[in-house]
Structure 1
Amino acid sequence: MSSDEYVASPEYVLTLVLQVEKAERPGQTDALETAARAVLAILADERSVGEGEWAEAMRGWQDARIRKVVRRARGAEWRRAEALPGITVTGGTAVVRVFPPVPLDDVPKDLAKLQVTGTDLEDPDELPATADGEPVLWVNPGLEMSTGKTMAQVGHGAHLAWFELSDADRKAWQEDDFHLAVRTATPALWKELMGSGLPVVQDAGFTEIDPGSYTVIADHPALR
């Protein structure tokens, strides 16, 4: 093929939309955990594999950078987003809808116009300790990221863990409704985890943080 015949493959993006109503804001950790579970839900969905209707787009997306964008919606915006093909996942106070990947220049207008920056939430209560054997996505304590940015990063972490799990472990996780926890590591734990060989997310640095920053480590018991 000559150079003038070459057509670059499109870059795909997967969109996550968090429901944030005026009077009902979700908790930070609920939003993070639900976003990660939403990514796993679409990876495991029958429409995403084999000859499923989303499979080609999923392959195109995963063969390149697994780019994710987090947006927020409320009221009529949320209802319009719900009408588009996707999967809605709930967790505690959070509701997240995940949409199959599309080329960057082909994001549906009802998603493209949603706010993408400035989402910052808080946890209303102290978080419980993680349980033995519980999958945990550990966030780097040395970085400052918005809720939206962190949602994308824990989504990446869950995705990397999914890549490395066996089919049996994937099935078991799916049957457990993709249960997981998200916590910020202590500096000492982060240093230990960085030497563990567990999947670690390295960010491209397009927004908020420096290129090459390590953001999340996926600690799934099956990968120990």
Structure 2
Amino acid sequence: MTGTVLDTLADRYAHWLGLPASATNDVSDEDPAEVRAMPVILRIERGDPPQRTPLLEAAAAAAVAVCLDPRAEAEGEWHDQVKAWVDSRIRKVSRRARGAHWEAVQSLPGVTITVDGASARALVPGLVAETPKEVSRLQISGSEIPADDPGPAPPDVPTLWLNPKVPMTAGKAAAQVGHASMLLAAALKADGRESYFEDWKDFRCAVRTPPLRTWASLHPGDDPLNAWRRRQVVAVRDAGFTEVAPGTVTVLAQLP
């Protein structure tokens, strides 16, 4: 798995965590016509909605699956689009779909993952201004799903810990766990731990909300490098465009 599009992501990780909160959402130098995003489509049927936890786990797996798909590697048909997105601000936009609208997005380039009956499809990122109509017609709001009780996380998969002090809609949380799975893969790649990916079946992750004490003990603070080396933890720090304040750490990803 050499030469993946995630190569540059690990290099930016520590710098991003070190920025002051006011700088994390500075987009003054962005050309709106060049803004890129990965659409993450959540299947939420009206009469039979999924449980929240498996839906988030499906979203996390789908996002990293796009980045590590052979089609995203050098010379692959997705490479240029995915790399251009990873090399800029990594935005994800979660939308909900059901019925025929869900079926319509299956024809767009991307990866669908289903976990315990809950499905999410991460699409190949592209320019927001060129969002396909099959995606632009889908609603961003209204993705709230009641909290469930998933029980203890499996011991053999990475755990994505949601910030217990920051409520998020299912759509927002889906984007954040997608960031977390990508950062985890980038950290593994930077460490040369290629063998890990051979056993990371379907990029499965557990999503859980920890007690406050656990969150505090895992939080990297101002030392992300040692948090990774000593506790195998990476953190997602949000730019604060929606729902949360700039600089908020929304998810901690931890290897088993």
TM-score of the two chains, using structure 2 as the length reference: 0.79
Structure 1 counterpart of 2:214, which letter? Answer: L
Residue 184 of structure 2 corresponds to residue 161 of structure 1: yes
Question: 1:163, 1:199 → 2: CA distance?
Answer: 10
Question: 2:37, 2:198 → 1: CA distance?
Answer: 25
Alignment match, 1:171:
198
Please list, as runs of the form range in 1=range in 2, the aligned pairs for 1:181-200 lying within 5 A after superposition: 181-195=206-220, 196-197=227-228, 198-200=233-235
Q: Calculate the aligned-residue CA RMSD, in Å.
A: 1.7
Residue 138 of structure 2 corresponds to residue 103 of structure 1: no
Once the 2 structures are TM-superposed, how far is the Cα of residue 92 of structure 1 from its aligned partner? 0.8
Alignment match, 2:117:
93
Alignment match, 2:243:
208
2:73–2:79: 8 Å Cα contact kept in structure 1? yes
Please list, as runs of the form range in 1=range in 2, the aligned pairs for 1:1-224 lying within 5 A after superposition: 10-123=34-147, 126-165=149-188, 166-173=193-200, 176-195=201-220, 196-197=227-228, 198-221=233-256
Once the two structures are aligned, what percentage of the paired residues are identical?
A: 38
Question: 1:185, 1:65 → 2: CA distance?
Answer: 28
Question: 1:115, 1:212 → 2: CA distance?
Answer: 26
Question: 1:97, 1:35 → 2: CA distance?
Answer: 7
2:154–2:206: 8 Å Cα contact kept in structure 1? no
**Poorly superposed stretches of 4+, deviation over 6 Å:** none
Question: 1:97, 1:132 → 2: CA distance?
Answer: 25
Structure 2 counterpart of 1:137, which letter? Answer: L
Using the TM superposition, name which of 189-198 and 152-161 deviates more: 189-198
TM-score of the two chains, using structure 1 as the length reference: 0.89
Question: 1:170, 1:89 → 2: CA distance?
Answer: 17
Number of matched residues? Answer: 212
**1:51-82 deviation per Cα after TM superposition (whole angstroms, max 9, x unaligned):** 11100011101101111111011112112212
